[in-house]
Amino acid sequence: MALDARIRELGSRHQSLEQAIQDEMHRPSADDIKLKELKRQKLRLKEEIETLRGHLH
């Protein structure tokens, strides 16, 4: 199913953003603006994943 593949792709991107957030938070001089943007992107992906999962059922 194409929908399953899309969900997996978004899940992978979501995980990559989580890693980027963790990396940024552990830097000595974390950039708050960059963190906010990464978290916003991660939330958008999560919402899209949930929407797509809703279409599966």
pTM value surpassing 0.85 = yes
Domain residue extents for the chain: 2-56
> What confidence category does residue 57 fall into, taking pLDDT thresholds of 50, 70 and 90?
confident
Q: Tens digit of pLDDT for each residue in 14-39?
A: 999 999 999 999 999 999 999 999 99
The confidence score (pLDDT) of residue 1 equals: 64
Averaged pLDDT, 39-57: 95
- Report the b/e string of 8-25 with b at 16+ CB within 10 A: eebeeebeebeeebeeee
